[in-house]
Amino acid sequence: MAEQPNQPTAPQPNPPQPSAPQPFAAPAYGAPIGYAVPTAYGVGGPWGPLAGWGTRVAAYLIDGLLQLIGMIPYVIGITLFVAAATKTPSYDSTYPGAAPVETGGDPALMAAGGLLCVLGLLLMLGIAIWNRAFKQGRTGQSIGKKAMGIMLLDENTGRPIGAGMAFVRDLAHTLDGFFYLGYLWPLWDDKRQTFADKILSTVVVETPKG
């Protein structure tokens, strides 16, 4: 049987080359869209870096010193009350051997001292409510926080929390007072929050510069 002559083969088309990616091309429909990784707390949170523990303590002390203004009438009142209530023994020389009779005590002065004590306590309470509830709640800064360049914000909205919530936050600080553990918690907490901050979802951040 005669061999068939070799048939010429048809040329094969070159395989398609991958196209170079377009630097500004829009992603294909259905492709996942990437999100920026949020900035870590303490380094540069959504509203700036979180305030340091020492700075917060300094602000708290400044607020405390402001409240001591109310101690002035309180101390004066205590002094007057004690002085007016003190009685001294006296002896009647016409009756030798008679028991001494205590004299002194000024009811009017005692009343004035008591009134000053009450006014002093009310003044301290009023300063605290105005400074830490109304001023801090509406602006994010008490006198102490403003002096130290920090502010209190809602961690979800980035806005001041309002007077009512600021007052509740101060009440919640009662939990922080047990063994002072809550006040120390910001030293190792990722968001540098006290227990009161966690309950109210608040953070203390540095005031933006400029």
Q: What are the mean pLDDT values of the chain's consecutive 10-residue runs (210 residues total)?
A: 52 54 44 38 66 98 96 96 76 57 74 96 98 98 98 96 98 96 98 98 88
Per DSSP, the three-state class of 192 is: coil
- In this structure, the dihedral spanned by the alpha carbons of residues 159, 54, 128 and 185, taken in order and rounded to 10 degrees, is 70
User: How many residues are recorded in the chain?
Assistant: 210
pLDDT at 6: 53
pLDDT at 11: 54
